[in-house]
Every structure is written in structure tokens, then in C-alpha cells.
Amino acid sequence: MLERDADIVVIGSGAGGGTVARELAPLCAQGLRIVVLEAGPKLRPDEFTGREVEMARRLYTDEGGFLTADRSMSIAFGRAYGGSTVVYTGTSLTITEPTVRRWGVPGLEHADLMGRSRKYLAQNHVHLLPDADVNDNNRLFERGCRRLGYRVEQFPLNLDGCRGAGLCNLGCPNGAKMGTHRVQLPEAERQGVTVVTGCRADRIEERAVVASVSEQAAGEPSAWAPGQYRIRAKAVVAAAGAIGSPALLLRSPVSAGLPALGRYFTCHPALILAGQHDRPITNYHGHPKSYYCDHFAGSDGFLLETCMYFPFTTAKSLAGFGAEHARMMSAMDRLQMILVLAIDPPDADNRVMVDAGGRPLVRYRFTDGVRRSLVQAMRASARIFFAAGAARVHAPASRRFFIEVADANQIDELIPFDGLRLGKVTISSAHPMGGCRMGTDSARSVTDAWGRVHGVPWLFVADGSLFPRCAEINPYVTIMALADRVAERVRAEWPHLQAHTP
């Protein structure tokens, strides 16, 4: 095993790790050695090809199809220099005050999170798309919502130089998405932080990280040669995501005495509906996600967003097979799509675990409330499609493959509650949260309000696993705000942290 020394090791380079790296980077000028360990590759610009399967393999864990233990749901999360910020759609919402109140973490205030969030909205060039760049898929959603009286808002997006490739979830081929790979990490490296790609953290020991560097099929060569490393550090920040960080801690001796580790996992379970129009519309040209509807968030526990996916993802998301399925797929330029997301409750038994080989495992049980929300969301989406002029709708839990416009008055009967059959309907998630949740009680939380792991003063967590409950919005800006707090705490504690001599 190769031995290395660092002052601070950050594990993960996404919204959390990239933020921490950037915020701690000024310490390099004082001689600190800060290393970021990233399991995925750093792709070259020409490696963003936009080819669906190729990019899914390059940028996602399990090609975007990480399955829960009972195979009911797949979870998509990035594995790259920039983490999931390379593959998300860039929607940049800030957490609401009622949500922070529901989180109920003493010492965590909405005003503080908002101040930090605004910093990242500015850094990441967040703004609304100009009207000329909004495509039909998005306009029709807005039109349908307004006709039905549903509250609909435009998404602020973190883009600079967007040319509307519509390939956001496969990594932007134009380099226009302002994720940590474009904003925070390059600045951190400029100030002296070392980012080691192709480097998977195996476990955390007493003030040390054991990690393995392997060659990657794509991307720039890693800063370190392949092999196993033990990196001694005075402080360690785990930012490997809401599945990666709990799994890492569970593989590590530090997990002793943390009964809540891995628990209270939430993820905004989601599914896709498609409406078919009788004429071509602009849908995969232009940014895919310009609008959202939170009209039903409080009453029925779901959110609706515009979306546009690629051929395989679309095909997989439709229920059924054969002639009807092919008919829907035969003209992708006529499809309008809506993504529905359920606001799921924290449940101690929904948890991240590790198997005998140390690989992450997620156990997730759908509550009756979440199932009901998903069905209600499908019904609302069907109404939006028809209000927008769609000729027919496919809802994966429907009694029929197609709901024709002539049957629009039977939506509730055609999309029954028992139509949501797990294992048949494709349910996915791109918002894993929880598993190292914040709190004051070490029996029911893993870190304090500043991300420090209970009982382990040199170990911090800085990613979505901190969330005590789901964010009820797209989580990345909130992750950055929390990571900003963690970095502030590491800086404040540094005189004590650096006093430790291994």
C-alpha cells in the first residue's frame, strides 16, 4: 500500500465535495495539502458525445440504473469529476423556510441557508432562460397548467453559453452547465487543491482514508498511479453522495456508535408520463426542463416538472411492449413529457446498507402516501397534457396503454390507485438524500448542524446525505449551502484539527 500525507481529504467532487474544495482552497496558500478523491473520470470536452448509452456508462454509477434491493426503483447518480452536477439538468431552486422548519435541526436556520445559496446562485450564473430558448415541450406544460389553474413557475438554471443541445443528463457537450466541474473545482485546483480521479475511497480509518486508484475507460489520466493508498489526514470530509457517504462510513470503523447511519433515506421517487401530439413539436431541441408545478406539493405531496429524455430512457419509462409501445416510440418528435416526483417521508427503515462485499445496498419501502401521491400526480399530468392539446396520453399505471382525448373525462377511473404496481411501473430517482442526517441526538442522527460526525471530531459529511428529510425541491443548491457551512466549520476548527500529530 502506498502511503500519502495530506492535511484535509475530501471524498467526492460533486455539489458537496466541489464546494468544500473551493471554500477550503485558500488554505493552500498557508501550506495546507488538500486532496479531493473522486471515483469517476474527468472527461475531456470531446468525450461528451451525447450518445445515450455511452455517456450513461461514462458518467453514472451502474449506468444510471442502480437498483434498490427489491428492484422496485432505480436511482441515478453521477460518478465523475463534478459528480452529479455533470449530469443534472441544472435547475437551481432554494430551499423554503417551511421545509427547513420541518427539518427541525437546532442551529440550522433558513436565513443562513438562503444567504449561502445566493452566493452559489451567483457563482453558478443562475438565471431564467430567455423566451426564445423555451421549446414547445415546456411551453405546452405551462399552457396546460395555466388553463387548469395550476401554479406553474419557470426554473432558474445554472447555464452559461447554453445552445439548447437538450443533452444535459448525458453531460453538456457545449460545456454550458455550471456544475462544480466548471466552476468550483477548477478554481480550487488553481489555488493548489489536488483532485485525484479514478480514486474510490474504500474506508475511513483513524485520521486516514484507504483508497484505490484504477484506470478509467475514458477521461484524463489520474493524478496518481493505479494502486491502493493510505492517505493520512488531520480532517476528512465525506461528500460521496447520499448513497456513497453512508456506505463509506458503514465500511469504516468510525461507524461504531452511530445507529442512525444509513437510515432515513429519502429520494423523491419519480416516474415519467408522455403525451403524444398529432404534429411534431420541439422537445429534444432546447433545454429540457424550464418549468415546474408545485401546486400540489402541500395538498397531495407531489411536484411536476417538464422533462425530455432519450430513446432508451423513454422506452424504459413507458409500461408495456409490442405494437402500442412502438407506436408511442415511433415519433419522438411528437412527445411531450412530464416528470412527477413524490415528496417522501423520512422512515428509519428506508436505509443505505452495505453487502458482504462492501457494496452499497438501498432498502426502500414505498408508503401508501407516496403511492397515492404518484397516482394523483399521474392524473394531474394527464389533465395537463390534454389541456395542452395532446391527442393521447400514456400513464404507466393506466388501465390502457393510451388514454385518448375522447376519454379525458375518465382519467381518475383509467389511472386507478391499484395501477401502480411495483416491479411493473418504472420508478426512478435522481435525488438521493439522507443517510447521514443532521441532528443533536446521536441515537437518531449522524452529524451535528455543521456536518461534523457525532463523536468523531475530525470527520465531516458535506453532501445530500445530511438532509434529515427530503428537500421538497431539487437539492443541489441546498447541498452547496450545507457544504459551505461544513467548510466554514473546518476552517474555524482548523487550529484544533491541525494540532493532532499522528
Partner 1 sequence: MAALTGPQRDFLLAIAPRIVPASAQLRPAARDEMLALIEATLASRTPAMRRQLDLFLRVMRWLPFLRYLRPLDRLDGSRQDAALRWFQDHPVHVIRGGFWGVRALLLLGYYGQPANGPSIAYTPSTDGNAVLHARARR
CA atoms within 13 A on the CB side of 92: 26
Q: What is the DSSP string of 145-184?
A: HHHHT---EEPPEEBSS------GGG--TTS-B-STTTTH
CA atoms within 13 A on the CB side of 74: 16
Helix (H, G, I), strand (E, B) or coil at 383: helix
Task: Work out which of 286, 435, 439, 475 binds partner 1, going by CB under 8 A.
Answer: 286
Q: What is the DSSP string of 81-103?
A: TTGGGGTS--B-PPPPHHHHHHH
Task: Work out which of 118, 316, 363, 491 binds partner 1, going by CB under 8 A.
Answer: 316
Is the Cβ of residue 43 or residue 165 nearer to partner 1 in the bound state? 165
Task: Work out which of 150, 264, 284, 458 binds partner 1, going by CB under 8 A.
Answer: 284
Is the Cβ of residue 62 or residue 202 nearer to partner 1 in the bound state? 62
CA atoms within 13 A on the CB side of 28: 19
Lay out the site mask for partner 1 across 124-153 (x = CB under 8 A, - = otherwise).
Answer: --------xx-x------------------
Closest CA to 213 of 5, 16, 41: 41
- Listed ranges 31-39, 188-196, 327-335, 406-414: which one lies at the site for partner 1 (CB under 8 A): 327-335
Q: Which residues lie closer than 8 Å to 501 by C-beta, 6 or more apart? A: none
Task: Work out which of 114, 218, 315, 405 binds partner 1, going by CB under 8 A.
Answer: 315
- Listed ranges 298-306, 319-327, 462-470, 494-502: which one lies at the site for partner 1 (CB under 8 A): 319-327
Q: List binders of partner 1 among 166-195 (CB under 8 A).
A: 166-167, 173-174
Is the Cβ of residue 72 or residue 350 nearer to partner 1 in the bound state? 72
Closest CA to 318 of 307, 331, 328: 328
- Listed ranges 98-106, 224-232, 326-334, 381-389: which one lies at the site for partner 1 (CB under 8 A): 326-334
Chain center to CA of 302 = 17
Q: Minimum Å distance from CB 55 to partner 1?
A: 11
Q: How far apart are the first and last CA of the chain?
A: 18
By CB atoms closer than 10 A (0-12, 13-18, 19+), residue 423 is exposed
Q: Minimum Å distance from CB 491 to partner 1?
A: 40
Side by side, the strands of the sheet bearing 199-205 are 2-5, 227-232, 208-213, 199-205
Task: Work out which of 123, 194, 282, 442 binds partner 1, going by CB under 8 A.
Answer: 282
Q: Interface with partner 1 includes 426 (CB under 8 A)?
A: yes
Is the Cβ of residue 148 or residue 354 nearer to partner 1 in the bound state? 354
Q: Interface with partner 1 includes 501 (CB under 8 A)?
A: no
- Asked if 418 and 378 touch (Cβ cutoff 8 Å), the reply is no
Q: List binders of partner 1 among 23-52 (CB under 8 A).
A: 50-52
Q: Interface with partner 1 includes 280 (CB under 8 A)?
A: yes
Task: Work out which of 2, 225, 256, 326 binds partner 1, going by CB under 8 A.
Answer: 326
Q: What would you measure as the largest C-alpha separation in the chain, in angstroms?
A: 75
Q: Which residues lie closer than 8 Å to 121 by C-beta, 6 or more apart? A: 92, 94, 156, 158, 477
Is the Cβ of residue 53 or residue 148 nearer to partner 1 in the bound state? 53
- Compute the distance between CA of residue 483 and CA of residue 461 in angstroms, rounded to an integer: 8
Q: Interface with partner 1 includes 389 (CB under 8 A)?
A: no
Number of residues that bind partner 1 (CB under 8 A): 51
Q: Minimum Å distance from CB 404 to partner 1?
A: 21
Closest CA to 396 of 428, 364, 363, 430: 428
In 217-334, the DSSP E strands lie at 227-232, 235-238, 270-276, 291-293, 302-306
Helix (H, G, I), strand (E, B) or coil at 454: coil
Q: Interface with partner 1 includes 154 (CB under 8 A)?
A: no
CB atoms within 10 A of CB 130: 7
Q: Minimum Å distance from CB 212 to partner 1?
A: 17
Q: Minimum Å distance from CB 325 to partner 1?
A: 8
Is the Cβ of residue 48 or residue 450 nearer to partner 1 in the bound state? 48
- Listed ranges 4-12, 17-25, 89-97, 317-325: which one lies at the site for partner 1 (CB under 8 A): 317-325
Q: Interface with partner 1 includes 5 (CB under 8 A)?
A: no
- Compute the distance between CA of residue 338 and CA of residue 105 in angstroms, rounded to an integer: 33
Q: Minimum Å distance from CB 301 to partner 1?
A: 23
Q: List binders of partner 1 among 234-253 (CB under 8 A).
A: none
State the DSSP code for 128: P
Lay out the site mask for partner 1 across 428-467 (x = CB under 8 A, - = otherwise).
Answer: ----------------------------------------
Which residues contact partner 1 by CB under 8 A?
50-53, 57, 62-63, 65, 70-72, 132-133, 135, 162-167, 173-174, 280, 282, 284-286, 310-312, 314-316, 320-323, 325-326, 329-334, 359, 421-424, 426
